[in-house]
Chain A
């Protein structure tokens, strides 16, 4: 069974750094792109970027380029989303999602989400 299991909720202060994770299982982790999607409170989904764990190739949405860093450690089948200096506007639910390998350009499995709250 394909599963993406994300790390738990985080409460951080502005200016702090953070790295959240998404562990894949039940499939060949190195063969699928893993993306990150943001959902701000009361808002829709926004695609942030993704990583190919096989060779760590990374692509970002122009809206998030330079704001976050996406990476992966294939040895432990885990993808990451990190911030070097959080802002209150980073408060959101973050989902990881696997890009289908069928060429459909759709996200066929999703993590349960990680809630990030940034507040002083």
Chain B
């Protein structure tokens, strides 16, 4: 199993939108609608932001949205805020009780 491919970093100014991509294969991202996204502030526990490609857990702002096309999933954050600055990881179910994460993307709010 190879890690999902994410850009190492993205940046945006407050109020702008950014999109983070997550590319896998037909055995993971493309094969299941089970992509999730996690926000990780260093030193804290990761937080679930998106599950099942595009669903938001209770309490997650609707500024966060997810989508998928073929083997690539995307996380879009609109109306960027300073507190959005964090590492973001995608994750996909890969069948047979296995999961694969992306390498992580560092979001910088300029």
A-B contact count (CB 8 A): 72
Residue numbers in A under 8 Å from B110 (CB-CB):
none
- How extensive is the interface on chain A, given as a class? 20 to 34
Q: In angstroms, how far is the closest chain B Cβ from the Cβ of A50?
A: 8
Category for how many chain B residues contact A: 20 to 34
**What is the CA–CA distance of A46 and B98 in the complex, to the nearest angstrom?**
11
Please report which residues of chain A, range 43-102, place their CB below 8 angstroms from some CB of chain B when the two chains form the complex: 43-47, 50, 59, 61-63, 95, 97, 100
* Contact assessment for B1 and A106 in the assembled complex, using a CB-CB cutoff below 8 Å: no
Q: How far is the CA of A46 from the CA of B2 in the complex (A)?
A: 10
A112 located at the interface, meaning its Cβ lies under 8 Å from any Cβ of chain B in the complex: yes
Q: Does A27 contact B (CB under 8 A)?
A: no
State the B residues within 8 Å of A (CB): 1, 3, 6, 32, 34, 36, 38, 44-48, 51-52, 55, 57, 89, 91, 93, 97-104
B91 close to A107 (CB less than 8 A): yes
A interface, CB within 8 angstroms of B: 4, 35, 37, 43-47, 50, 59, 61-63, 95, 97, 100, 104-113
Q: Which of A4, A44, A62, A106 contacts B36 (CB 8 A)?
A: A106
Please name the 10 residue pairs, one residue from A and one from B, whose CB atoms are nearest each other, closest first: A106-B36, A106-B51, A105-B34, A105-B93, A44-B103, A110-B45, A45-B101, A59-B97, A44-B104, A47-B99
